[in-house]
């Protein structure tokens, strides 16, 4: 922790020295066809910033970032009130330990604690990137467990202790349940538990990667992304990658399921990668990210679809990456990640927009 603080100090000094070059917060024009988005505002400037999710009171967000200007080497969890985001010199509050790698944070119902997954107990260093052998894969770091921290970064609870991958946790709107993804049963399945971590139960059982789950506004259903290999070749490939704690997220569709594990339904059948789903506040539509229109594969836009799979509508058109959409609790704003307005670089930043139905 001392070394981390020293690194952070030097990062702060570097930022202070560059204050004259700060970028002030700016409103980004929406694309001509982005009729649902108004007053798009850029919140972060640099690094990869993703999975930003609202507090229950709609005043703050929590997200993960690897912005080296903030003194970190790999993804850590931050939080900030929306009103405090300012310019490129602003550093949000660090919630995770600054050790290991973290992912998938989410506010607890009291707005004073944040849920996230971290590998810091297994190793204080950032885990090495996977050997991809030319394929696009996501690592399933077995050191991930799910923790709860207060807003000062003090860990107050550890909710999972099983060996293997436990991550991708989100909280139900009624504040009673947590859904997460785990490999503890031998495959990447959805699990559900009480808000205090008790009564952990498996929800899905089909072979494939079930993850990125969120509850419906009434807390009765769950929407998630899933890869369900069908052919012998695809099944063998999936299992081989899983044995090396890897998954290839290039063929995923959107599904829904009841919180008791019943009535699983496939919503999309678009091909390629459909992921990062979230319910519209009305509960009848689902917004998600997809590259199904892309000729090369890397052109992710936001789309919306009725929960029965009808009336597909494209929401974003700008840049080649838009994902992780989440509506504010009152449904009036949308936060998402995008590489628009990055000057042709690789940075992925957080953006917030007024939502127009």
Q: Which residues, other chains included, contact 245 with Cβ-Cβ below 8 Å and sequence gap of 6+? A: 130, 139, 140, 141, 142, 165
- Distance of alpha carbon 142 from alpha carbon 137, whole angstroms: 15
Output b/e per residue, 74-103; b: 16+ Cβ within 10 A.
bbbbbbbebeebeebbbbbbbbbbbbbbbb
Residue 295 or 99, more confident? 99
Residue 69 or 12, more confident? 69
Three-state SS at 57: coil
Q: Which residue has the tokens 């931050």?
A: 78
- Distance of alpha carbon 170 from alpha carbon 198, whole angstroms: 15
The DSSP code for 141 is -
CATH superfamily of 2-355: TolB, C-terminal domain (2.120.10.30)
Residue 11 has pLDDT above 80, yes or no: no
Q: Would you say 45 and 65 are in contact if contact means Cβ atoms under 8 Å apart?
A: no
Burial degree of 123 (CB within 10 A; 0-12, 13-18, 19+): middle
pLDDT confidence of 133, banded at 50, 70, 90?
A: confident
Q: Tell me the pLDDT tens digit for each residue of 13-49.
A: 333 333 334 555 556 666 668 999 999 999 999 999 9
**Residue 3: per-residue pLDDT:** 37
Tell me the two tokens of residue 49.
């910033």
| Rounded mean pLDDT, 269-279 | 97
The DSSP code for 70 is G
Residue 1 or 175, more confident? 175
Q: Tell me the pLDDT tens digit for each residue of 292-349.
A: 999 877 899 999 999 999 999 999 999 999 999 999 999 999 999 999 998 888 899 9
pLDDT confidence of 215, banded at 50, 70, 90?
A: very high
Tell me the two tokens of residue 226.
């899933």
Q: Would you say 164 and 184 are in contact if contact means Cβ atoms under 8 Å apart?
A: yes
Q: Which residue has the tokens 């009535």?
A: 263
- Distance of alpha carbon 277 from alpha carbon 326, whole angstroms: 9
Residue 9 has pLDDT above 70, yes or no: no
Q: Would you say 7 and 94 are in contact if contact means Cβ atoms under 8 Å apart?
A: no
- Distance of alpha carbon 287 from alpha carbon 324, whole angstroms: 9
Tell me the two tokens of residue 215.
């509850």
- This prediction's pTM: 0.91
């Amino acid at each position: 922790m001392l070394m981390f603080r020293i690194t952070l100090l030097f990062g702060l000094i570097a930022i202070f020295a560059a204050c004259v070059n700060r970028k002030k917060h700016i409103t980004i024009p929406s694309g001509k066809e982005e009729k649902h988005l108004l007053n798009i505002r850029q919140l972060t400037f640099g690094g990869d910033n993703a999975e930003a999710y609202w507090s229950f009171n709609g005043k703050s967000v929590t997200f993960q970032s690897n912005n080296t200007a903030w003194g970190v080497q790999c993804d850590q969890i931050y939080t900030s009130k929306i009103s405090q985001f300012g310019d490129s010199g602003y550093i949000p509050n660090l919630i995770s330990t600054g050790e290991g790698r973290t992912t998938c944070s989410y506010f607890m119902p009291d707005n004073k604690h944040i849920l996230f997954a971290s590998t810091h107990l297994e190793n204080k260093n950032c885990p090495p990137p996977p050997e991809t052998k030319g394929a696009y894969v996501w690592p399933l770091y077995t050191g991930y467990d799910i923790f709860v921290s207060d807003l000062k970064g003090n860990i107050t609870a550890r909710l999972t202790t099983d060996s293997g991958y436990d991550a991708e946790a989100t909280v139900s709107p009624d504040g009673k349940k947590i859904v997460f993804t785990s490999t503890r049963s031998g495959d990447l399945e959805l699990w559900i538990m009480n808000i205090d971590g008790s009564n952990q139960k498996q929800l899905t059982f089909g072979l494939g990667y079930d993850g990125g789950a969120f509850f419906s506004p009434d807390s009765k259903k769950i929407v998630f992304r899933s890869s369900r290999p069908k052919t012998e070749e695809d099944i063998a490939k999936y299992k081989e990658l899983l044995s090396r704690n890897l998954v290839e997220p290039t063929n995923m569709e959107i599904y829904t399921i009841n919180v008791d594990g019943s009535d699983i339904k496939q919503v999309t059948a678009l091909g390629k990668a459909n992921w990062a789903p979230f319910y519209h506040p009305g509960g009848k539509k689902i917004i998600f990210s997809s590259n199904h229109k892309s000729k090369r594969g890397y052109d992710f836009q936001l789309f919306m679809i009725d929960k029965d799979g009808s009336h597909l509508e494209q929401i974003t058109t700008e840049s080649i990456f838009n994902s992780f959409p989440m509506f504010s609790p009152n449904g009036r704003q949308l936060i998402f990640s995008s590489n628009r307005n990055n000057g042709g670089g690789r940075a992925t930043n957080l953006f917030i927009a007024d939502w127009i139905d």
